[in-house]
Structure 1
Amino acid sequence: MRRTLMAAATATLVALLPNTAQATPSYPDPRPLTGQEIIHDPTVMRLKSGGYVAYSTGGIIGTRLSDDGTHWDDAGNAFAEPPSWWYEYNDTGDPWAPDLTYRAGRYWLYYAVSSWGTNHSAIGVATSRTGLPGTWTDHGKVFTSETTDHWNAIDPSIIQADGKLWMSFGSYWTGIRMVELNPETGKAKQNATVHHLATRPDAPYAVEGPEIVKHGRHYYLFASYDACCQGVNSTYKIRVGRSTSIKGPYIDSTGKPMLEGGGDLVLEGHGRYVGTGGQSTFRDKGQDWLAYHYYDAEDEGTPKLGLNKLNWSKNGWPHVA
C-alpha cells in the first residue's frame, strides 16, 4: 500500500510539473534491412512486375533490387554510360537525387546533374517500360538553372495534381520551387512560372530535397533541412508543412509558413541513425512509407537506407512508425 501511495503521489507531481522531458521527441528505428544497405538520396517503388527497386545518388544512378523490401541486392546502375550532356554540369558525369514515378504506362526517372556549391544545374528525365536498370532511354533536360537565378535545379520530385503535372525542386539558393510540366514530354512548359514553396529566414537557406504527397484534402511538402553529406557530423532532418493547394502556401501545425522557415519535425537523428534526410515516399499495399538515408554512427558514418511506415494522425499530420 505504501508503494502504491508513493507511486500515486509521484504520478500526481509529474502531472503538475512542466512537460519538459516529454517535449523531447523520440523516433522509431528504421525497418531492419539486410544485404546492400549503402545508399544516398533513395527513391523507392514497388514495380508492376513485382519486387522493389531503389535508385540513388552514386554511380550512374545506383540501383538496388529487393523481392521483399527487406533484403536488398546491388543491381549496378540505371545507365551503362552517362549521357553526353551531363558533362556540361560536372567533369565526371555524376547524377544526383533521382525521383521515380509511374504514369501513362511508363516509368519516369528524373535526376539532377550539377557540381557542389553552384546552381549551374540541370534536371533530366529518362523513361522505361519496366523500371529496371539498363532499360532507360534518356530524354535530356527538363529544367535548368544558372548562376543568375535565385534557385537551384536539383532534387526533382514529381506529382500529378488538379489534372496537371508538377515538379518541385530546389536546394539552398532561397529554397524550394515548383514548375508545371508538359505531361506528354515530361519537361517544363515553355516560360513556366517558377512558384516559391519554402525557404529559411537566413542564408544559406538550408532546405532542399522536396517531396509533395497528397493525403486527404491536403498536399504535404516534405523537405530536408540543415547539413547533409558530412557523415556523423551531418545535421539533416525532415520537416513537413501542408496546403489545400498544390501551389501553397504550405504551413506547419502551428500556422507558420514554410516560406518563413516553418515546418513540423518528422524525423531527425537519434542513436546510431545520424542525419536523416534525402527523403522520398512510396505507397505499398495500402501503406505509405518514408524512404531516406542516414549516416550509421556504428559504421564510421556510412550512408544507409532507412525505411519507416508513414502514418497519419486524426488531424491529418504525418508521423513515422
Structure 2
Amino acid sequence: MQRKRLTVAALAAAFLLLAPSTATAADYPAPQPVTGDTVIHDPTMIRLRDGSYVAYSTHGRLEARVSKDRKHWERAAADAFAEPPAWWYEYNDTADPWAPEITYRAGRYWLYYAVSSWGSNHSAIGLATSASGRPGTWTDHGKVFASERGDAWNAIDPYVVEDGGRLWMAFGSYWTGIRMIKLDRRTGLADPSDTTVRHLATRPDLPYAVEAPTLVKHGAYWYLFNSYDACCSGLTATYKIKVGRSTNIEGPYTDSSGKAMLEGGGDLVLATHGRYIGPGGQSVMRDRGRDVLVHHYYDGQDEGTPKLGLNTLTWEGGWPVVS
C-alpha cells in the first residue's frame, strides 16, 4: 500500500468522491500509548518466542522495529532483507516492497509481502522464512502468486491463516476487491492442485476502494476485516476499517444487517476520530490471550505523519469492538 503515499496530491484529487468518516473523537478510543520510533505504514506484528516483539512494515527492505514491552519501539539495525531479491525489480523499479504479514507455523516464521507500483496490478506476493523472525535473518522463496494487467484482481496486501488443516491467503486492493487462494501447507506457496481464486468482498462503486484483508477466527465465525476508501494522503486520508463474518472461511461474508460484503456490506470498526486520521492497513495479532488490532493512522497533530496504532479488540454480541 506504500504506492499510495508517493503521489499525495494526485491521490487526494482522485478520491474526492469518497466521503470521509463522520465519526467523532467520542466514537472510538485512542490507540494505546507507544513511544520511540512509531512512524510506520501497513504494520504487521508478532511476539517472538523470547517474549519481545517485532513489527515489519512497508518501505525500505521491509522496515523493522523491535520492542521489549509493546510500548517502546526502536528501529532495528536491519530491515527484513539486507538486499532486495532480484525478482522484485520486475514489479517495482526501486525494489520497494509493501504490506508484509508475519506468522509462525511449523517451527518457523513466515513473512509474506507484496511488490508492485502505484496504479498497476502487475503485482506479486512473495514469501520469506526465518528460524528466529528477527530482522536480517530472512531467506526469500520467491513468488507465491502474481497478477497481470488483464486480471480482475491485484496481488498485494497478503494475509495468511490456517483453517482445519488448510492454509489460505487472502489478498487484494481495488480492481474487484478481496480475493483468496489456497496455499500448499508444506511450501507456503500457491497450491498447484487448487487454482481457484475465490471472491470475498468488493464494492459496487468505482474505484472499488477496498483492500488489506485480515481474517480472524472467533467462536463459530470467521471475521473479515478490510480497509476502505483512500489511504496514504495524510491529513486528507479517508481510510477506515470495516468487518463482516461467515461460518465458512470461503464465505459468503455479511455484516450485522445481513448485507453481503460482495455487495458493499461491512460494519464500521474504526474510522477517523480526533487526531487519529484514516486508520487502516490493519492486521490482528493474538497476544497473551487477547486480540490486538495493529494498524497505522495519520497524526493530525504531526502534519499527517503515519503512526503505529494498537487497540485491543473485544467481542460484543458476536462482533469486534475496539477498546
Aligned residue for 2:11?
A: none
Using the alignment, how far apart are the partners of 1:282 and 1:102 within structure 2?
11
Using the alignment, how far apart are the partners of 2:107 and 2:311 within structure 1?
28
Is 1:282 aligned to 2:285, yes or no?
yes
Which of the residues 154, 157, 179 maps onto 1:155?
A: 157
Is 1:225 aligned to 2:231, yes or no?
no
Number of matched residues?
A: 300
Using the alignment, how far apart are the partners of 2:52 and 2:23 within structure 1?
40
CA deviation map 1:214-257 (0-9, x unaligned): 00010000000000010010000000000000000000000000
Aligned residue for 1:270?
A: 273
Q: Check the 8 A contact 2:24/2:274 in 1, yes or no.
A: no
- Paired letter, 2:278: G
Using the alignment, how far apart are the partners of 1:142 and 1:259 within structure 2?
25
Task: Give me the identity figure in percent.
Answer: 67
Aligned residue for 1:89?
A: 91
Residue 167 and residue 22 in structure 1: after superposition, are their counterparts in 2 closer, same or farther (change >3 A)?
A: closer
Using the alignment, how far apart are the partners of 1:106 and 1:142 within structure 2?
17
Gaps of 5+ in 1: 1-20
Using the alignment, how far apart are the partners of 2:102 and 2:248 within structure 1?
23
**How many angstroms does 1:268 deviate by?**
0.3
Is 1:305 aligned to 2:281, yes or no?
no
Partner-residue secondary structure (3-state), 1:77:
coil
Partner-residue secondary structure (3-state), 1:266:
strand
Using the alignment, how far apart are the partners of 1:203 and 1:28 within structure 2?
31
Aligned residue for 1:124?
A: 126
Which TM-score applies when normalising by structure 1?
0.92
Using the alignment, how far apart are the partners of 1:38 and 1:70 within structure 2?
14
Q: Check the 8 A contact 2:129/2:139 in 1, yes or no.
A: yes
Aligned residue for 1:18?
A: none
**How many angstroms does 1:25 deviate by?**
6.8
Partner-residue secondary structure (3-state), 1:87:
helix
- Paired letter, 1:250: Y
Residue 64 and residue 255 in structure 1: after superposition, are their counterparts in 2 closer, same or farther (change >3 A)?
A: same
Larger Rg: 1
Aligned residue for 1:39?
A: 40
Which of the residues 195, 199, 224 maps onto 1:196?
A: 199
Residue 175 and residue 67 in structure 1: after superposition, are their counterparts in 2 closer, same or farther (change >3 A)?
A: same
Using the alignment, how far apart are the partners of 2:63 and 2:257 within structure 1?
39
Matches for 1:71-220 after TM superposition, within 5 Å: 71-75=72-76, 76-190=78-192, 192-220=195-223
Using the alignment, how far apart are the partners of 1:229 and 1:255 within structure 2?
31
Which of the residues 281, 292, 295 maps onto 2:295?
A: 292
Using the alignment, how far apart are the partners of 1:25 and 1:304 within structure 2?
20
Is 1:70 aligned to 2:71, yes or no?
yes
Higher relative contact order (CA 8 A, sep 6+): 2
- Paired letter, 1:182: D
Using the alignment, how far apart are the partners of 2:45 and 2:322 within structure 1?
16
Which TM-score applies when normalising by structure 2?
0.91
Residue 44 and residue 22 in structure 1: after superposition, are their counterparts in 2 closer, same or farther (change >3 A)?
A: closer
Aligned residue for 2:4?
A: none
Structure 1 runs of 4+ aligned residues shifted over 3 Å read 21-25
**How many angstroms does 1:22 deviate by?**
11
Partner-residue secondary structure (3-state), 2:216:
strand
